Structure formats: structure tokens, C-alpha cells
Amino acid sequence: MKKVELNQLSKKQIELIEAAIQVRKNAYAPYSKFKVGAAVLDENGNIHTGCNIESIDYTLTSHAEMVAIDTMVKSGCRNLKEIAIVLKSTAYSVPCGLCRQKMVEFSNSDVSIICVNLDSDEQIKEIFATSLSLLLPYAFKEL
Ligand code: THU
Ligand code: ZN
């Protein structure tokens, strides 16, 4: 996990972060109060977004990353290259194990993962860069 600055990122990565910040505003998280926004960059350079959507039955909750990936698949693409996740947390936060496994399902090479932590004013506080192979080594997949 590497801490990075905004000026070290590509234009496309900044675009991804901006899209994730925007979609996070639509997060429906009345139970956890933990809003998450995600934006996926697919193999064709298109961006797909998602936010978490909770339900009073917690098991029905959709994670932001999953919604973004489902949106990509629904558009006809099955291969993501990068993902940005935006949330507000006291420490760094990374996609959960379920979301990591879903990224494995819909990628054919390593995925760059950018985790953005917002401050109390919803401004970017810190950015961490990592990758799927680092977060989920020896993943369960068809070879
Ligand atoms: N959440 C995500 O959206 N992505 C993750 O990978 C971890 C958890 C959401 C689910 C729930 O709405 C809230 O964060 C707290 O767990
Ligand atoms: Zn998850």
C-alpha cells in the first residue's frame, strides 16, 4: 500500500476519483452511515460507477465496487483495468474480500486500485495506491 499524491496520478485516474466522489453522494447507507463511491475503468477506457446501497436486512447490501463492476458488465464489457474507491474513514480503507474476488472474476490482468480517504469537509485527505494481486494473492480463479 503506497501513499500517493494527486499530482502523481494520471488524468484518467483523477477522472476516476472524481467520478467516485460524485457517485458516493448517491450512496444509500442509513444503517452504517458509511458511504462508499467506486469508479471502474474498463479495457476500452470507459468509466462505470457505483455506490453502496443498504437494506434493513443487511445481507441485501450492495457494495459500491460490486455495483460499479455490475454496471460495466451490463454495458457489455467484462474486463476492468483500474478502480477508484472513495470513502471517509479514520484509517485507510480498502475493498473487502468479496469485492476483491469480484474484481478477479472481471479482469484478465492485474487491477490498479486507488483508495481515497476524504476528510470531514468531504475533501481528499489521502490517497493510497495498490493492486489486486497485492490485496488478493493466490486468488481462486480459472487458469
Ligand atoms: N462497503 C462497500 O461499499 N464496499 C466494501 O468493499 C466494503 C463495505 C459498504 C457496505 C456497507 O454499506 C458499508 O460499506 C459498511 O460496511
Ligand atoms: Zn466489498
Question: Rounded to the nearest whole angstrom, what is the distance from the C-alpha of residue 95 to the centroid of ligand 2?
Answer: 5
Is 65 a residue of the active site?
yes
Exposure string (b/e) for 94-132, b if CB count within 10 Å is 16 or more?
A: bbeeebbebbbebbeeebbbbbbbbeeeeeeeebbbbeb
- Give residue 38's identity as a one-letter amino acid code: A
- Predicted confidence (pLDDT) at residue 142 exceeds the cutoff of 90: no
Q: Whose CA is nearest to atom 4 of ligand 1?
A: 63
Contact 28 CB / ligand 1 (< 6 Å): no
Residues 136-140: contacts with CB within 8 Å, 24+ apart? 136/97, 136/100, 136/101, 136/103, 136/104, 139/100, 139/101, 139/104, 140/101, 140/104
Q: What is the pLDDT of residues 94-105, one digit of tens each?
A: 999 999 999 999
- List the residue whose alpha carbon is closest to atom 1 of ligand 1: 63
The ranges assigned to domains in the chain are 2-135
**The CATH number of the domain covering residues in 2-135:** 3.40.140.10
Residues 45-86 have pLDDT tens digits of 999 999 999 999 999 999 999 999 999 999 999 999 999 999
